[in-house]
Chains A and B, each alone.
Chain A
Amino acid sequence: MLATAAVVGYGLHTGFQRSARGADLPNVIARFDRQPLSRVAPRIEALPDLAAFAFRLEVTNVDLIGGAHRSREGVVEVLSPGRRGFDLLAGRELSVRPGEAIVEQGVARSWGLRLGSRLLLDGLGALRVVGIAESPDNVAFPLAAPRIYLSRPALDARFGVERDPQVNVAELWLKDPRQLDQVLGQARASSYGLRGLRVITRDGVRVLLDQAAGIVIALLVALSAIALLTAAVMLGASARAEVERRLAGIGVRRAIGAGRAHIALTHAVEAAIVSIPAGGLGVGVGYLVARGPSDRLLEAINELPPGVGLLAPLAGCWALTALIPVLASGWPALRASRRPPIALMRGAELGGRRGGRSLLGRVRLGGNLVGLAALGARLVSARRVRLLATLAVLGVSVGFILLMLALASELNTLQSDPGSLGKRYQLTASLPAAAVPQVRRLSGIAAVAPRYEVQALDSFSLGETIDLIGYPGDHTIFEAPPLVSGHRLGSDSGAEVGRGLAQVLGLRPGSTVAVELPSGHEARFRVAGIVDSLQHDGRVVYVSSRALLASEPSAQEQLAVRLSAGASPVAVTRRLAALGAKPKATGGATDRGRSLIAALTAILRAVAIVDGLVCIYALIQALFLTARERRSTIAVLRACGADAGAVRVLLGGAAVAAVAPAALIGVLLERFVLGPAMARLAIGYASLELSAGSGEIAAVLAGLAVLAAAAVLWVARQAGREPIVVALS
């Protein structure tokens, strides 16, 4: 468990910095509509704090063929000489020879491309892959479009030198990234005439990734803490029982002059002999279990796996797993050796209150089987502290397992359900607003309206991009993300703001949100309400289309189409296509992020499984210790004719005493504590419904019952192997 947490947590926490460093990621990436280099270069050169800069021409929607794969959404980055901003994982730099390309690792992996493979690029013909690259400025293919890099000098060598080449991306490396705000301010002041300007900062990318990774890391840290607590309690109890069993031996050794420290050391060394290889094995297994999903997740977001960087955290985990049993064994031995040797040789108890009343002391023994089960329950509840620890461990583990299953379900829902975005339209059609009456007449359509969208920048902090969405009239017919505070949009000057944006900018109803539009103009809106939206991580602003078009007449226009109840999307799509539209089904929040979601879900489920292992470990320990401490009781029962089945009933009673309350605790914990707490963590994105469903609860309880039965069978078998005489001696 600890190693799993370390592998995933460390990988995610350090992934961006590691990859950004490796890729020499620029501090600022500015994208704009194509411009001649001579118009942009002087403005960039004049910025303060500039260590270096480079320009690219980014060509999108290129037809790209690699092996048996093809994409019409390919992105070609034409690199001018200078720093490049990506990490070369394999191969070499582009030379000035035509016909060479570097491909992004996501493309290489998905399409099975290697160094020397051939790519076909529309307009350029065959290209040879000379390098495989990784850049954390964007997620990898297939989460994003396939990306390849070409060299401008090589294109110049083939097609002739362009005197004033066109560029649309500027990468800026700063000498002192702390001056970023000033640099962005100056860049903005001299950006006039650059249409479609979008600025992304390295910090902006990191913050987003950290936020996403933060939830997973928080989960793993919590689970690690539980695992550690479990291990400490169980190992302590186990060691104590072992010391108790060997009290006579300790007494003898004390009688012949062995020192206390020597005795404690002996026990610690014995524990270390077991715990060091066992800990190493556990860490190794944890690493192997978690490495795959973790690396896949990192690759999906274009980050590098930690590699040897993981050695230190894993070594720490190993040390911890080895140290806990050593301390748990050494300390009770040290305490025991404090007693007089004679008392120890008589078999004295190892401290603590003797004859403590069982928590189930009043349970009366009824019929034979029930009586045995009740006896088992009494035996396990006699050690109150241990029972409470077991209940805590099992309860919290069950709670976390339920939480992770709920989270995984929620992610799956978000992936495919547009309703999770508050979207009520099912289709979009690329038609002008004038076509609304014509579309409205089609059967199967409940409502249709023009929808305008433009990507803008926050005026005060240029690193934040914002989706500005406008409808004529009531937008809640088509998009109604839940209103958190304030009121719905009522005027052209008002806006509904996504919770993600509100949180970043400190907005509340009545505040002003200022956005810089691609035209270079700024638009300001008074915040009418805050809404929960998962689109663009909640960085979304709903305004009236009139206000949007007044500031940005070139905003992207399409029709939002809401279907009638029972209408067939396929049929409506066909009718819309007949009008000349290109209808498109509305996707969920994570529509393009299937791989990312799949990786995240895999991690959550892997962690849930490891958590399940923690449960069975805690249960076996509790039963095993009970059986060991009460071996004389069990021996008496067996001497009186109790068979293996009766012992299993006895231990089954003990297991039920631990599992039943723990299951209840787990369900309540998830519903009232963990679920709401996790929803609060994710509140920057949206309100998530993280209560486990009845199916999930039933599955977990069934799994727990199976685990308990397995634990009972195993412990009963162990207890049955001991000769009765030995147990009674």
Chain B
Amino acid sequence: MSSERDPGAEASLTRREALVKITSGGTALLLASCGMSPRRAPAANGSTLLSSYVDPGGVGVLEIGDGIPLLDRQELAPRALPGVVLCTIAHLTDVHVLDEQSPARVPFLRRLGAPFNSTFRPQEAFTAHVLAGAVRAIGRLAPNAVIQGGDLIDNAQGNELELALELLRGGPVDPASGGRGYVGVQVASNPDPLYYRPDLDAPRHPGILAASTRRFTSTPLSVPWHPVLGDHDILVQGVLAPSKITREIALGTRAIWDLPAHLRIPGELTDAAITAASSSPDGLAAPAVVGQLIQAASKAPAVTVPADPARRELDVAEVLARLRATSGSGGAGERMDYSFDVGSNVRVIVLDLVRREGGSGGLVHGEQRRWLAHELARAGRRWRLLASHQPLTSSEGGEALLALLDRDPRVLAAIWGHTHRNRIIPRPTRAGGYWLIATCSLIDYPQELRALRVRETAGGGAALETWMIDHVPDGEIGDVSRELSYLDSQGGRPQAFQGGRLDRNVRLFKAAPSGD
């Protein structure tokens, strides 16, 4: 049993808080009547129950707005009084810590639009600081466990993984690569206006690139965390299995910033085809296509950047080993399929759907169906949460796994990332149904993680309370990253990655299993 505070109570008030609010409300009213508006501060713990980032006028500028209370969703079960908290979990996914200065990147593809949007982002030099802010927010939430939902890094590079793990471990962190200072596509001296250059372009943030490569100290993640493997963790650009040519490029000094004149994009890469083939914005489904592009681009005029041996592309075993070693979790074997309990009433089953041969879409492997059936059976009377990186709904073979979950009355939810968007859909079944929950990324807007709190309800059912948490920056860089991700016209804002009201702060009810 847990004695954690009720999340609904975060929105309720003590007498002192009420007085403070009345006073501050009066002051705000007074200032507003004088034509001034008070500047609000975001919630210190990043909880969107207390405050949220809003753009009330739709002008492209984020402000601190009111908190968003939990909204009851009763598609699967009627509302019931939430009781004892069984556990709290933070779902942190698609962080994409990356080495922007790496010659292995293909940022020039972004100008072609979808499906290459993710090859460059205006805010991508700041991923380390965003993860540090997310860890800070998790510390203030103090959950029982953290699910690191995959795509912790972006390009399967050793220095990316080392940086991400350093951030989770806490302590001094060095985000620089290839020597001190910043040498990447966003430097002011790069004459290509299709890249955002913070020293020159609006919104101007002179010096922030240099600041982003300086050493800083990260708060350690002080709760147990459990990794889920994502496509970007082991595949180049989340698509391509590392090869001799990609390894040479990563360790070399030839970076390609400008779209090669002779590059021809294969005709099959239409937007419609991509959308159908992959539900993720972060990579192509077809590795062969990316392979061709990289091959062609490797002959293009290049910029010389400092080499860094730490950029070595890792093989799968090495990634799994380092994730397991640092987290102390993650199972064993060639695939990262495992389960763990959070408290005595909740079991999380983790599935590894990443294609080893390349391709960003999920794939259910031969043994996984049987393994999942076994795990579900083994879980007894515990509530089950299933975690994967790619959505089961779009993964090859995913329907078979969903069929297993459909039959189990104690499955509460299946949780994933990969799509970079918040989405919560009920999946009604004869066994009572469960919730399909997608969490947004920390690299694209809205740069949030998700809190999940399982509570008992009267009559033996359960309520899954979930709300979004903003990363809590320590300094300017995190806020700038959020601002840029919001402005990005190829990013999360125009694609509505933040989801609707029903996809964010909600209380999801599940009826008691009929056998109970």
Contacts and interface: CB of A to CB of B under 8 A. Distances in A.
Contacts of B399: none
Contacts of A176: 57, 59-61
B29 to A, nearest CB: 24
B489 A43 contact: yes
Contacts of A182: 60, 202-203, 487
B58 A175 contact: yes
Nearest to A44: B489
B193 A179 contact: no
Nearest to A182: B202
B195 interface: yes
A186 B59 contact: no
Contacts of A189: 111, 122, 194-196, 489-490
Interface in B478-498: 486-490, 493-494
A522 B200 CA distance: 14
A175 B57 contact: yes
Contact of B194 (A49, A181, A188, A514): A188
Contacts of B195: 189
B194 A48 contact: no
A694 to B, nearest CB: 52
A45 B60 contact: no
Contacts of A188: 193-194
Interface string A476-509: 0000000000000000000000000000000000
Contacts of B493: 46, 48
B111 A186 contact: no
A178 to B, nearest CB: 8
A192 B196 CA distance: 14
B202 A181 contact: yes
Contact of B61 (A179, A181, A520): A179
A186 B488 contact: yes
B57 A459 contact: no
User: Which residue, A182, A193, A522, has most C-beta atoms of chain B within 10 A?
Assistant: A182
Contact of A48 (B60, B113, B122, B201): B60
User: Which residue, B59, B192, B488, B489, has most C-beta atoms of chain A within 10 A?
Assistant: B489
A534 interface: no
B492 to A, nearest CB: 11
B8 interface: no
B195 to A, nearest CB: 7
A598 interface: no
Contact of A49 (B59, B111, B196, B200): B59
A175 B202 contact: no
B490 A190 contact: yes
B500 interface: no
B444 to A, nearest CB: 13
Interface string A39-52: 00001011111110
A508 to B, nearest CB: 18
Question: What DSSP secondary structure best describes chain B's contact surface?
Answer: loop
Contacts of B193: 188, 459, 514, 516, 522
Contacts of A174: 59
A181 B112 contact: no
A45 B196 CA distance: 19
A185 B196 contact: yes
Interface in B111-129: 111-113, 122
A613 B84 CA distance: 95
A193 B109 CA distance: 12
B480 to A, nearest CB: 13
Contacts of B487: 48, 182, 185-186
B490 to A, nearest CB: 6
Interface string B42-82: 00000000000000011111000000000000000000000
B301 interface: no
A521 B350 CA distance: 47
User: Which residue, A43, A48, A191, has most C-beta atoms of chain B within 10 A?
Assistant: A48
Contact of B489 (A51, A186, A520): A186
Interface residues of A, number: 34
A190 B489 contact: yes
Contact of B202 (A185, A459, A520): A185
A184 interface: yes
Nearest to A523: B191
A48 B196 contact: no
A530 to B, nearest CB: 22
Interface in B150-206: 191-196, 200-203
Contacts of B61: 176, 179
Given A185-B202, A186-B489, A192 B194 contact: yes
B111 A192 contact: yes
Contacts of B113: 43, 190, 192
Contacts of A175: 57-59
Nearest to B271: A42
A46 B191 contact: no
Nearest to B58: A175
B191 A48 contact: no
B59 A48 contact: yes
Contact of B494 (A45, A49, A51, A185): A45
B60 A185 contact: no
Contacts of B59: 48-49, 174-176, 179
A646 to B, nearest CB: 73
A128 interface: no
A183 B202 CA distance: 9
A51 B490 CA distance: 18
B194 A191 contact: yes
B200 A460 contact: yes
Contacts of A514: 191, 193
A522 B191 contact: yes
Given A190-B113, A192-B112, A522-B191, A46 B60 contact: no
A592 interface: no
A47 B489 contact: yes
Contacts of A521: 192
A27 to B, nearest CB: 12
Interface string A165-185: 000000000111001011111
A516 B59 CA distance: 26
A460 B191 CA distance: 11
A524 interface: yes
Contact of A185 (B57, B58, B201, B259): B201
A186 B486 CA distance: 11
A46 B490 contact: yes
Contacts of A51: 58
A520 B194 contact: yes
A184 B202 contact: yes
Nearest to A184: B202
A522 B258 CA distance: 11
Nearest to B195: A189
Given A49-B60, A182-B60, A460-B200, A522 B192 contact: yes
Contact of A181 (B58, B191, B203, B489): B203
A552 to B, nearest CB: 14
B415 to A, nearest CB: 29
A185 B204 CA distance: 11
Contacts of A192: 111-113, 194, 259
Contacts of B57: 175-176
A526 to B, nearest CB: 12
14 contacts: A43-B489, A48-B59, A48-B489, A175-B57, A175-B59, A176-B59, A176-B60, A182-B202, A182-B487, A185-B196, A185-B487, A189-B122, A459-B191, A514-B193
Given A183-B60, A190-B113, A459-B191, 6 more contacts: A46-B494, A179-B59, A184-B202, A185-B202, A192-B259, A522-B191
